[in-house]
């Protein structure tokens, strides 16, 4: 009864029952079967620890079991916005089976899946989240979803950063995992550290009969020091070109030392509110996922280095316990400590650092075009804006489907007053959603954020969003309100489909490619 309105659409639809006799009859005509499982979540619609949401229903389990028993090969296609429970695979899958996370990849996803299943295309995606044996194995499981507030107890130990450090045995599929038809050999070529930039060159060689792409993943291991660190952190990745049997490609992965530094919010390192590299050995691992990787190079710092010096800003206002790593008898274990709370009044800090008020000069006839053309400065333009205009330009018209923008918009920013438009401040139309340009009668259905990140291909991501930018122009949209950079802290988050990963590095790299592409 509560289905069909905002935040209350169904997580799934009941499976039509198929008789076992009909399944066996179908198996007489084909050796391969495909079973599709779909899930839907979203804003105000979290996943639940129930059948039909995070878990398979009994009907779905029955169908998968009976199909995989009858057919020589079975492909389970998971059309979801986030990872779901996978503990069923060992229990009910029979014969030869494959599992495909196809995410919610838009109007062409069916054709893409068909190309992969038929062997026309090579699947080269990789997981951007860790799939654990059980939901209770995720470190956020006791803290996620509270109504009043959420304690971010696991701190930096989210996803593989937790599992690879403290709970390797709780992982079904590691971060970065993914299979294809091709197989690659990976080799270390050379490395150097120069001008605070690490550059590591590696070679990928296709050793299979199938043409395909490899994802070269580079992980760093840092000294535990006084701050405590994850066992591994992703610090670089690159996708190869499509390589045929015997073909090789050298790839250089470069990143600044900042990418492997640690933020000290407590002062334990002696450098509070700074990004630091603690003294010790920094090792680098090359592989196909966070678990399957080998050490290829290292360097040693004799003492702690400050990479960036900052000042306290948004420190927690209330204390709670957070997870920390510590070494005991050569083994890394976890403990808990109180989170350092704010020692500065954020409001006072903001007020102290506000730019100088240029004062209200009244309407001087200056337009925004005059600023662009160099006739006037931005300060001169702003000085003629009244308090009402300043308030309006900072607020915008947040009404869905504003009359000031293209039909179907998510609100308008900028020139929401006639006086602002007279000064050349145009209304900027926003578009909601990470899976298409939802403006006008026709909507594009495009890959969600989780699908885009799973490519591990920033060049292709940029091209996809260049096309999205072109469609925005045609449809009259100026600002895209998605995808987002939130971390996949929990598989129960309903909006994981909008976001990229449990890992901040691939999240940032993918987001940068999105922005570059859409602005071209």
Asked whether the beta carbons of 461 and 455 are under 8 A apart, the reply is: yes
243 φ/ψ angles, rounded to the nearest 5 degrees = -115, 135
pLDDT digits (tens, 9 = 90+) for 234-268: 999 999 999 999 999 999 999 999 999 999 999 99
The residues of the chain scoring below 50 in pLDDT are 1-2
Element of type H or E holding 237: strand 233-239
- pTM check: above 0.85: yes
Percent of the chain with pLDDT over 90: 85
Which domains, ranges and CATH numbers included, belong to the chain? 20-155 (3.40.50.1700), 184-310 (2.60.40.10), 393-518 (3.20.20.300)
Spatial CA neighbour of 219 closest among 237, 194, 199, 201: 237
Asked whether the beta carbons of 124 and 180 are under 8 A apart, the reply is: yes
pLDDT digits (tens, 9 = 90+) for 143-165: 898 888 889 999 999 999 999 99
Classify residue 315 as exposed, middle or buried by CB count within 10 Å of its CB (0-12, 13-18, 19+). Answer: middle
pLDDT digits (tens, 9 = 90+) for 1-23: 345 567 778 899 998 899 999 99
What is the pLDDT of the chain when averaged over all its residues?
Answer: 94
State the pLDDT at residue 261.
98
Beta bridge partners of 414: 427
State the pLDDT at residue 3.
52
d(CA 292, CA 287): 6
State the pLDDT at residue 443.
76
- Quote the tokens at residue 292: 């399957």
Residue 39: CB partners within 8 Å, gap ≥ 6?
11, 12, 47, 53, 78, 79, 80, 81, 82, 84
State the pLDDT at residue 1.
32
Asked whether the beta carbons of 43 and 494 are under 8 A apart, the reply is: yes
pLDDT digits (tens, 9 = 90+) for 109-135: 999 999 999 999 999 999 999 999 999
170 φ/ψ angles, rounded to the nearest 5 degrees = -100, 10
């Amino acid at each position: 009864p509560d289905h069909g309105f905002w935040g209350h659409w169904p997580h799934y639809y009941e499976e039509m029952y198929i008789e076992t006799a009909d399944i066996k009859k179908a198996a007489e005509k084909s050796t391969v079967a495909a079973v599709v499982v779909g899930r839907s979540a979203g804003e105000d619609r979290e996943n639940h620890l129930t059948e039909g949401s995070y878990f398979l229903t009994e009907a779905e389990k029955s169908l998968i079991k009976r199909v995989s028993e009858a057919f020589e090969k079975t492909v389970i296609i998971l059309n979801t916005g986030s990872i779901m429970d996978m503990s069923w695979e060992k229990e009910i899958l029979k014969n030869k089976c494959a599992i495909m996370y196809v995410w919610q990849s838009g109007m062409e996803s069916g054709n893409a899946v068909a190309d992969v299943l038929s062997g026309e295309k090579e699947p080269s995606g990789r997981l951007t989240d860790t799939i654990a044996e059980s939901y209770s194995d995720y470190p956020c499981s006791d803290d996620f979803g509270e109504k009043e507030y959420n304690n971010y107890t696991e701190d930096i130990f989210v996803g593989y950063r937790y599992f690879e450090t403290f709970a390797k045995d709780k992982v079904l599929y590691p971060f970065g995992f993914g299979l294809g038809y091709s197989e690659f050999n990976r080799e270390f070529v050379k490395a150097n550290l120069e001008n605070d930039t690490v550059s590591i060159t590696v070679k990928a060689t296709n050793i299979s009969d199938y043409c395909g792409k490899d994802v070269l993943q580079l992980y760093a291991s840092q000294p535990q020091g006084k701050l405590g660190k994850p066992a591994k952190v992703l610090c670089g990745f690159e996708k190869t070109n499509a390589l045929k049997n015997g073909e090789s490609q050298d790839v250089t992965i470069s990143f600044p030392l900042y990418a492997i530094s640690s933020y000290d919010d407590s002062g334990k390192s002696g450098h509070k509110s700074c990004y630091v590299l603690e003294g010790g050995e920094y090792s680098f691992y090359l592989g196909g996922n966070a678990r399957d990787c080998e050490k290829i190079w290292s360097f040693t710092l004799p003492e702690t280095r400050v990479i960036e010096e900052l000042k306290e800003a948004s420190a927690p206002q209330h204390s709670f316990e957070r997870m920390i790593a510590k070494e005991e008898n050569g083994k890394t274990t976890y403990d808990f400590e109180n989170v350092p709370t704010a020692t500065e009044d954020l409001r006072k800090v903001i007020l102290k650092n506000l730019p100088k008020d240029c004062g209200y000069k009244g309407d001087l006839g200056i337009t925004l075009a005059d600023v662009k053309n160099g006739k006037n400065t931005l300060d001169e333009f702003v000085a003629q804006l009244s308090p009402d205009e300043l308030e309006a330009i900072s607020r915008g018209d947040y009404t869905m489907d504003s009359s000031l923008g293209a039909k179907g918009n998510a609100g308008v920013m900028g020139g929401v007053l006639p006086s602002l438009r007279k000064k050349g401040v145009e209304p900027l139309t926003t578009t909601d959603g990470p899976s298409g340009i939802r403006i006008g009668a026709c909507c594009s259905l495009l890959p969600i954020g989780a699908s885009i990140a799973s490519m591990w291909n920033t060049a292709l991501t940029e091209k996809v969003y260049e096309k999205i930018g072109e469609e925005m122009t045609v449809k009259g949209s100026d600002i895209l309100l998605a995808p987002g950079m939130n971390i996949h802290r929990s598989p129960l988050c309903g909006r994981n489909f909008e976001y990229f990963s449990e890992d901040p590095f691939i999240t940032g790299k993918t987001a940068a490619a999105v922005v570059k592409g859409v602005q071209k």
